[in-house]
Chain A
């Protein structure tokens, strides 16, 4: 046990500091991906609800395809595909050789694209709960579409979507471990490095798992706090 503590200590020879930075990296790439996913999800949900036939069809195709394909493939697509595109662009400029996209950008985009498909479904489900009369009342009060969205639609949809959004956040967080394949030094990659240099894979993967568990546990609490806050104006426990 003391040996384990020595491995994660912050002093010389300890990996504590490196793991802490890696944990920050995990959280930031997951947050960026999750936010990108929120924007994509909102647009796709809007397309599903309000679009004409081609728009609705494309939105449906997007969610079906992205939810049916492994995340790892999407990460490969964005990392290698992005690098190919950037290299091609640089070669046009006259510079030869391979240019890679930053793993952070590729990873966050990949998480965003996948979680966007899931978020779209959650937003769409939450929008259905919205009473038609409220939107009509907003329009009758002379609100422009933007104001209507900001004041009436967004707050209520977000409130109802919160539990589903919480699940998707947990998914995005765990998905971020896959970005280690692109070489981004997040929690899992850092553990791999540490495991390789100390020849103690079991300890380090256990530690990585424990840190992930702490992060998911904390976010569970944040989301249930947010949910209870969002439900203040809804007496009687109507979800």
Chain B
């Protein structure tokens, strides 16, 4: 173990951090939009909407992410002429976009399960109260159901975010030089896997720690009604 080498690798690995964060952010945002749609399809009660959504979630959650990445990046390359004629080849030839696509599709499937649970947890009484006030359709969703469900889903969705950060490491296998990609290069150049692992692991732990703090702050900010009296709140938590 050589602390100086750990520090040097740490500094080199920092060059991969922007890409890791970028991939996470893209996949998270696209995934969230899709996840809301899929979750709404699943709770819609309409068979035509529910079946494809459930099938999608089942397939994505039942196969490894790496297989999905390979299928999109290497597999679709087989249809190059077709994709070129459609003008999509620019997109699918880049490991970057293929990685983002695979990560987003994945995050949509896992996220939709979290949101589905949250949508089902919105109490019927609140919906009835809103309906009694004359809300319906989109207004009901926008003002009552979605805000309540998103708030309910936040802690679990935070876990998904951490998993997403970890999942971005897989695109290093299709040549992307994010933190794990740089780490793999360093390992093969220096043959010092333990030091590189410690440095790369530290970076991931810092990222995940900061994200966890951010999510719990957001959660705190979104749940003023649970704060109430600080003293009783603390004893509640202690239990």
Q: Write the residues of chain A forming the contact surface with B, with a CB cutoff of 8 angstroms.
A: 64-65, 67-74, 76-77, 80-81, 84, 170, 174-178, 180-181, 188, 191-192, 195, 199-203, 205-206, 208-209, 212-213, 216-217
**B204 and A69 contacting across the interface, CB-CB below 8 Å:** yes
Of the residues B78, B79, B204, contact of A70 by C-beta under 8 Å: B204
* 21 A–B pairs (Cβ distance < 8 Å), ordered by A: A68-B205, A69-B166, A69-B201, A70-B180, A70-B204, A73-B200, A76-B183, A84-B191, A174-B64, A175-B64, A177-B66, A178-B64, A178-B66, A201-B71, A202-B75, A205-B70, A206-B75, A209-B59, A209-B67, A212-B62, A216-B62
The answer to whether B63 and A213 have CB atoms under 8 Å apart is yes
Are A72 and B75 in touch, CB under 8 angstroms?
no
The binding surface of chain A is classed by DSSP as helix
Among A69, A73, A192, max chain B CB count under 10 A is at A73
Give chain B nearest CB distance to A28 CB in angstroms: 16
Known: A72-B170, A188-B67. A84 touches B193 (CB 8 A): yes
The residue on A at minimum CB distance from B168 is: A70
Interface residue total, chain B, C-beta cutoff 8 A: 41
Closest 9 CB pairs of A and B: A70-B169, A202-B75, A177-B64, A80-B193, A205-B71, A174-B64, A216-B62, A201-B74, A81-B193
Q: Which residues of B have CB within 8 Å of A76?
A: 183-184, 187, 193, 197
**Chain B residue with the shortest CB-CB distance to A216:** B62
- Given A73-B169, A202-B78, A208-B67, also A213-B62 (CB < 8 A): yes
* A195 contacts B166, C-beta separation under 8 Å: no
> Using Cβ atoms and an 8 Å threshold, which residues of chain A touch B167?
70
Alpha-carbon distance A174/B170, docked complex (angstroms): 13
Contact A80 B70 (CB under 8 A): no
**In the docked arrangement, what's the CA distance between A72 and B204, Å?**
12
Distance between B149 CB and nearest chain A CB, rounded to angstroms: 22
Q: A80-B187, A80-B193, A195-B74 are in contact. Are A65 and B67 (CB under 8 A)?
A: no
Residues of A close to B204: CB separation below 8 A = 68-70, 73
Complex Cα gap A213–B172 (Å):
24
